[in-house]
Each structure stands twice: as C-alpha cells, then as structure tokens.
Structure 1
Amino acid sequence: MPKFKLFAGRKGAADQKKNNQFVKLARQIYVTAKQGGPDPNANLALKAVIANARAINMPVDNIDRAIKKATDQGNADNYEEIRYEGYGPGGCAIIVECLSDNRNRTAADVRAIFNKRGGNMGETGSVSFMFDKKGVIVIDREEFEVDEDTMLMQAVEAGAEDMETTEDHYQILTHPHELDQVKGALEAEGYKFAQAEVQWIPQNTVRITGEDAVKMVKMMDAFEDNDDVQNVYANYEIDEEELAKIQG
C-alpha cells in the first residue's frame, strides 16, 4: 500500500487556519449530534468527532454550543452530506466531502475551484475507485516512546490492517467498520490520538511539478478555505523542496 500524507492547511495566519478548523468541526459536531443524539457515550460517531476537536484544542464551549444547537427544537439548520469528485492539474484525482445547507451554492463553489485552477469536476464515482476507504488513526511519535515494531504489533493485535510510519507519526489503517474497535483497544493501552476518522486513501500517487504543482497547492488551499468543505483527499505528490518554494 502506498504511503500517504496528511494534507494540512497551507496558507494564511495560524489563527485563521485554526478558526476555519473550528468552524468545520462545529458543523460536523452539530450534524453528528442531530443524527445520532447528543450523548457521546451513546453516539460513537459524535464521540470520535469530539475527540478530533479536542486534539486540535477546540474550546469546550464551542463543542458544547454545537451539541446544544443540535438539540434545539427551534433550530431549522439542515446540513446535507455531499461528495464531489474530479481531476486537478496533472491528472490528479480529488475527492471533496462537504456539509452544506445549500446544495446549489456548494456545487457552484466546488466547480469554480476546480475550473479556476486547471481542473474539472466529474460525476460521482469518477475517481473514487482509485481510493480505498479506511479508518485512519494517527499517533504522534513525540508523545509516546514506543518503537515501530512494538507499535505495529499492538496495532495488529487491536485489529488494524496495516501501519505506515513517518518522521512524526504512526498512521494506523483499519477497515472503516473496525475503526472504533481498534481505537478503543489502543486507548486501553494508554494511547491518545492526533486524529481518528474514516478517510479516502489513494491506491497510487501522481507526481506533479512546475506549474501543475503550483496550481494544485492553490486548489487545495481554496478547498480548505471554503466553509462547506469538510475534507479533501487527493493522490498527488510534490517534491518537498519544490513544495517549500511554493509555500514560501
């Protein structure tokens, strides 16, 4: 299985980036609580979203406010989960997951981001076959003094399918339906997670350079800046030195 990277926000002030993350997570908490109930112990999906929010230090008041909003009978906000697919510069495959209260607005915004930066939006299913849907658990290596072999053994014993190691993280892969099981088993071992959620993992990657790389980074930035966009997955690779120049 190819290695994959976590795509973080790439521009703007750190405070603005974090605020954007809080806005998106608040919306996700609201929708998850509305669908499955406000009690995290009875709604495992909500429990997972709250854990991800706490991992980036989202204020407790923000979390509680989103849950309270979901239980307010007078609140008419209604968000729809929508997935868009398409191609970016250099033929990169892209999946965009959204939570929207206006499908027409979101579709127009996503299409404009694709078109403006040398890509094109396709039909649902046009690129998702190039990805595998997996549970992804991320453990910060600096927080836990455990070697790679031990971590892999514990992950496999917990029910994980595979593990990738980067300089900063252990990235544990599970079947989507077994994410909670593996997460619970590792929590019992004392681990905490930088991230634990279902993601689309590319089966293969496409290396891009030059103008295609510049356009791709700008496209990812635009998606991440859009409030309706919750997650973006892409199968591109950019050389680290070139990426540093683009971001610099």
Structure 2
Amino acid sequence: MGFGHARFLASQLRAVSLPRSFSTSPVHASGHNKWSKIKTKKGAADAKKSAVFGKAYRDIMVAVRGGGSADPGLNSALAAVLKNAKSVGVPKDNIEKALAKASSTGKDRGDQQVTYEAMAYGSVGVIVECLTDNLNRTAHNIRGILGSHGARLAPVGFLFTRRGYVNVSLDKGDDRDARTERLIEAALESGAEDFEEAETPDDPTTTELEFTCPTENLAKLTAAVTRSGLSRDLLSSELVYAPVDKPESADEDLETKVAELVGALEDNEDTLRVWTTLDS
C-alpha cells in the first residue's frame, strides 16, 4: 500500500472515545432506525433471530463499556439491556459471551472505537461505528461490504449532527395526558430540545415519548425522565448521528437497497451502530 493511499484511508477512519450510551429497543421497535423493520418484513425466521441476537450483543458491548461495569447492579444501562435481551429470547449463553467479551480489558485487547463515513447509491450518507482490536481487518471488511452494495468511503459527516436521544414508555390511563405533560416539562427543564409521542402497536397499554438534546445534556435528561416517576421503562438513552436535514422520501427500491446495506454492515462482527441520512 502506497503512502498516499494510506493517508487517504487514515482520513476516512478516525478513533473516537466510547460514548456512555446504550439502546434497549428491540429490533422491530427501534425509534430512530427504520431499517430493522424492513429487514424483519423481508427476512426468514432465522434471519430475524440473528438480527435480534446481533443487536443484543452490540447493546451489551456498548452498555458495559459505556457504564464501566459488567455488573447490572452497578450499571443501570446494562440492567436495562439485559432485561430487554431476555424478553426477546436471547439465550443465556449468548448473553454471557457478550458480557465476557465486553468486560475484558480494552487496553489488553487493544480495542479501539472507530468511525467510518461513506456514500451509498450517490445520495445516502452512512456512518458506521465499530469496536475493533484489529484496524486492518475491520477496514478491509467494511470496505468490502460497502463496495458490494454500491457504496464507498467518503466524508459525509457534515450531513449529520451528533445528538442525545432518550426514549421512554408510559402506561396509558385516565391521567396519561397530565403525566405526559409533566414528563415533557421535566425533560425540557433538563435540556431536551424536541420531543415526539409515538404509539406502540405491539403493546396497546403503553405509549412512548422520544426526546432529543445536545450531547452534553444526555445524562441529565436521562436522569430526569427516569427519576420523575412518570415513565414506565427507559427504552433507549444514547448518542446518535441524526441527519442535519429532514430525510426526503425515498422510493421503495432505494430503501430496500439501503436496508440490505445496513443489514450487511450490522452483521459485521466489529460493528456497533449504523446511521444513514434516510433515518427518521
């Protein structure tokens, strides 16, 4: 590999600090990433199971490293992730393997968190977050996946903004409107800048509230909405890459292609998260 080519690759790959974040939303109910929904519709039963297990593995990795402990009694983020993993049927053996890998000393393993930026199909920005102990292997695998799906490494970070994202569920009831209003007030006072209410078709007894905030307010916002006594469960609290501009409607063919690309990237063993400019 020539010096110029090496410098190009280095410009596409940057190490970043591990965010204190986690996500416990099951694959079929991710609030900010619709690709898993498309994959679920298209995939067979074994593909669905693989997607669920893979997501649980990634969430455990992020929760342990972000929370600093593999003990759910000391790491509330991990406790929420494990609760969700068990609820969607992730085997105990899979959970224990993920915990063992996540709790191994990163320094001894040489782990680094790296971010790749790419352009897919000429118009869709993609950001891939990975955790790896071998940069060459991961770079090779990511480039191969991108190339086989009509994508290439490219600087697209300007198409995204880093935001805090918190998602909680609330029980429905006669006083839901009042509880929702008080929860929103608590969130806004703790740094939330926007919110959205969403129905939960899989559970007619609950509703969800999604909040976004500046990255520096994520911990404060998460504490406010979980300690208020107004929410039922904390479903997600993480740093996300959100599109700067509201996603334009894409035709079904493009959405299918991007969903397949995201699925292939998520199947890579080193991948933690994938974001695109089509995410809503």
TM-score, normalization by structure 1: 0.75
The alpha-carbon deviation at position 64 of structure 1 amounts to: 6.6
Contact 1:30 1:66 in 2 (8 A): no
Counterpart residue type for residue 48 of structure 1: A
Q: Which residue of 1 aligns with 2:80?
A: 51
- Inter-partner Cα distance in structure 2 for 1:81 and 1:194: 24
Q: Which runs of 5+ in 1 are unaligned?
A: 239-248
Q: CA 1:110 to 1:150, structure 2 compared with 1: closer, same or farther past 3 Å?
A: same
Q: Which runs of 5+ in 2 are unaligned?
A: 1-30, 201-207
**Which secondary structure does the structure 2 equivalent of 1:6 belong to?**
coil
- Inter-partner Cα distance in structure 1 for 2:91 and 2:222: 23
Contact 1:82 1:98 in 2 (8 A): yes
Q: Which residue of 2 aligns with 1:86?
A: 118
Contact 1:81 1:98 in 2 (8 A): yes
More off after superposition, 48-57 vs 106-115: 48-57
Task: Give the alignment of 1:1-248 within 5 angstroms.
Answer: 5-7=32-34, 9=36, 10-11=39-40, 12=43, 13=45, 14-29=48-63, 31-32=65-66, 36=68, 47-57=76-86, 76-122=108-154, 126-141=155-170, 143-145=171-173, 146-147=176-177, 149-168=181-200, 169-190=208-229, 191=231, 192-204=233-245, 205-236=247-278
Contact 2:60 2:98 in 1 (8 A): yes
More off after superposition, 160-169 vs 181-190: 160-169
Q: CA 1:51 to 1:186, structure 2 compared with 1: closer, same or farther past 3 Å?
A: same
Contact 1:55 1:193 in 2 (8 A): no
Q: Which residue of 2 aligns with 1:243?
A: none
- Deviation track 1:77-126 (CA, whole Å, cap 9, x = no partner) reads 3321010001112501111101112211111221122221122112xxx2
Q: CA 1:209 to 1:151, structure 2 compared with 1: closer, same or farther past 3 Å?
A: same
The alpha-carbon deviation at position 69 of structure 1 amounts to: 5.7
TM-score, normalization by structure 2: 0.67
- Inter-partner Cα distance in structure 2 for 1:26 and 1:86: 26
- Inter-partner Cα distance in structure 1 for 2:61 and 2:103: 14
- Inter-partner Cα distance in structure 2 for 1:232 and 1:194: 18
Counterpart residue type for residue 235 of structure 1: T
Q: How many residues align?
A: 225
The alpha-carbon deviation at position 60 of structure 1 amounts to: 7.7
Q: CA 1:19 to 1:85, structure 2 compared with 1: closer, same or farther past 3 Å?
A: same
The root-mean-square deviation of aligned C-alpha atoms, in Å, is 3.2
- Inter-partner Cα distance in structure 2 for 1:187 and 1:134: 19
Q: Which residue of 2 aligns with 1:246?
A: none
**Which secondary structure does the structure 2 equivalent of 1:85 belong to?**
strand
